[in-house]
Amino acid sequence: MEDWAEIRRLYRSERLSQAAIARRLSLSRNTVAKALLADGPPRYERAPVKTSAWAQIEPAVRALLTDFPTMPATVIAERVGWIGGHSWFAENVTRIRPEYAPPDPCDRLVHLAGEQVQCDLWFPGQLVPDHAGVLRSFPLLVIVAAHSRFIAAMMIPSRVTGDLLAGMWQLIARDIGGVPRSLLWDNESGIGQRRRLAQGVAGFCGVLGTRLIQARPYDPETKGVVERANGYLDTSFLPGRTFASPEDFNAQLHDWLGSYANRRIHAGTRMIPADALVADRKAMASLPPVAPVTGTTVTTRLGRDYYVSIGGNAYSVHPEVIGRMITVRASLDRVTALCGDRVVADHERLWGTAGLVSDLEHVAAAAVLREQFRTRPAAGAHLDVSVEVADLSAYDAIFGTGEVA
C-alpha cells in the first residue's frame, strides 16, 4: 500500500520516470508500471479454501442445487452421505447456494396514515386454563395500525367467523377508534379462502365502510407489520407470566399494551405508536353509528332435554319452550336464547369444549313439568258419558227371530 502511494506521488508530483522511480524505491519496472496503471490501491483477497472433504462432495451438492435450489442443507447432507460436522457443511452450502437460487427481493412498504390495519390470528401455546382447568392454546387476535404501529390484541374463544368478527369490532371500536380504508388478512378459514369471503364478513365490512384484502398464500412480507407484532408479543409479553383465566390473560395484555408496548419508541418508525395513532385516526373514517352484527347465531327446535349446543358446549333453555323454534346467539362472553321476543336462556359463555351449563330455574321447571306429565289423567278419563242400551227384544218381535218355546 505504501509503495503504491509513493510510486504515484513520485510520478505525478515529482515527475520522475518509471525507471528513476524503480531505482529510488528498489523495485522492478513492472511493479512500478502496474502501480501506475491500477485505479486503486492493491487489495489482498484470500482465495476460498477448499478442503479435500468438501472438494469430494461439492459436485454432488451442486448437482442437487441445480435441480432443487431451495433444498435445506440438512437434506442435502443426507442425500450426499455427509456424516461430518453440520455447521461447517451448512456454511459451504450457503456460500454456493446464491449461484443457483434466484434472488427474491422485497420492496420496503410505505404505509400512509389511516390506510390499513393488518390482522392475524396467533396461538401462544397452552398457557390459559379453560372452564375445566385444563391448559389450552386459545387463539390470540392481533391487529396493528400499519402507519402508527399501534397494537391491539385480545384472546378469543375460537377461530370461527362470529368470534373473529366480534373480536375485530371490539378492538377497532375500543382501541383503534376509527375505521381504516382496508383490513388486511391472510387466508384464515374464518375470514375466507379461495377469494371467497366467509358468510357474514362482507356484511361486517359493509357496515364499517371498509374493504377486506387477503394476502397471497405463503407471502408473509405482505403483512409483515402484524407478523413482527406477533413475535414481539411472544418475546416481550409472555415470558415469566402466568394466567388464571382467559379474562386474566386479556386484562394483563391490555394493561401491558397500554402502559408499555404502545408507549415505547418503535425501532422502525422512530415514533411512539400511541402518539402516532392520532394521525392514523384523523385519516380514518369514523365508527358506524350502529354496531355490525357479530357473534354466532343458530336457529333450532328445542328438544326434550332442553339443552342447546354451541361452540362445543351445552347450555340449558327454559323447558316451557320444548318443541318450539328458538334463536341461540353466542357473543364473546355470553350465550342467550330467544323464543320470539322472550329470553329463555342467558349464560356466561364457557371457554373450551365438552362443558355443561345448567340454570337452576330451568332444572326446577323441568322437574315440575315432568311431574305434571307423569300424573296427568289417562287419555279419555275426563269424559263422563252415559250410553243408553236399547232393548233388542223389539227386533225379535218384528222379524220373528225370537226363541221358539
User: Closest Cα to residue 331, out of 353, 316, 346, 317?
Assistant: 346
Percent of the chain with pLDDT over 90: 72
pLDDT at 15: 83
- In 3D, which of 61, 44, 212, 85 has the Cα closest to residue 143? 212
Domain 116-283 matching CATH 3.90.380.10: the answer reads: no
Please, what is the end-to-end C-alpha distance for the chain in angstroms? 160
Q: What is the DSSP pairing of strand 182-185 with strand 211-214?
A: parallel
Whether the full predicted model's pTM is greater than 0.95, yes or no, is no
Q: How far apart are CA 329 and CA 296, in angstroms?
A: 6
pLDDT in tens, 164-200: 999 999 999 999 999 999 999 999 999 999 889 999 9
Q: Is the pLDDT of residue 228 over 70?
A: yes
Domain regions of the chain by residue span: 2-37, 52-99, 116-283, 296-374
Using CA atoms, how far apart are residues 186 and 192, in angstroms rounded to an integer? 9
Q: Each residue of 35-58: pLDDT tens digit?
A: 888 877 777 565 555 557 888 899
